[in-house]
Amino acid sequence: MTASLLIAAALAGAAYVITPGPAFLALLGIGAGQGRRAGLLFLSGHLLGDTAWASLSLVAIIGSASLGTLVFDILGLVCGAYLLLLGWRALRAMRRSDGGLSSAAEKPLRRGLAFGLTNPKAYPVSVAMFTALLASHAAELDWSSLPPLLAAAFLGFLGADAVLLWVIGAAPVRRLYRRHELWITRLSGAIFIGFGLQALWHAAPGLLARRA
């Protein structure tokens, strides 16, 4: 197993956590109202969900790669299209009028656990993100690579969580985020589109070669 494969898994884990979404907004609201300690409890609960979805995603990806390049290329095509759809929706986002997720959470640890385990989009986004960043290493993926890949992804989670914890504790950052929430959401959409195009870039040649 190469270092670049482990780095790709860590980057996929970090990107999955740090890209703005419902949990990010919830974390920002909790941090704004209750500080870093509450934010840390929220992230600790959410980390369990991140790890669970990453485990399932890596099992699906390695299983697809083990069945052959055709299955893996199809998975890459589907995941790339899904990331493009998410990115397009984010780019078209409109400013919300509800003021968003600033109410205090009495049990931030439980709230984070609920967000981490029950988000219906967590699994497909996780599969898509890991597929996009691991696609160029498909030949290296087998069942023996699962533990180190999960460990690398977990380190990516921790790194991204540390960044988020710093962000929610900085008052200027919170003010800047609230002022430019719409554009940050659209930027996250552009990031998703970039990952989607990468997944399609790696999947398309194999599929086109088979068709030819």
- Residues 85, 16 contacting (CB under 8 angstroms): no
Per-residue pLDDT for 170 more than 50? yes
pLDDT at 103: 38
Of the ranges 105-109, 131-135, 192-196, the best mean pLDDT one:
131-135
Per-residue pLDDT for 142 more than 70? yes
Mean of per-residue pLDDT scores for the chain: 77
Per-residue pLDDT for 34 more than 70? no
What gap in Å lies between CA 208 and CA 186, rounded to an integer?
A: 32
Domain span at 13: 3-211
Per-residue pLDDT for 148 more than 90? yes
Per-residue pLDDT for 72 more than 70? no
What gap in Å lies between CA 61 and CA 73, rounded to an integer?
A: 10
The confidence band for 115, taking pLDDT boundaries of 50, 70 and 90, is low
Averaged over 5-27, what is the pLDDT? 81
Per-residue pLDDT for 12 more than 80? yes
- Number of structural domains in the chain: 1
pLDDT at 147: 92
Distance of CA 165 to the CA centre of its chain: 17
Residue in 80, 93, 110, 81 with CA at minimum distance from that of residue 20: 93
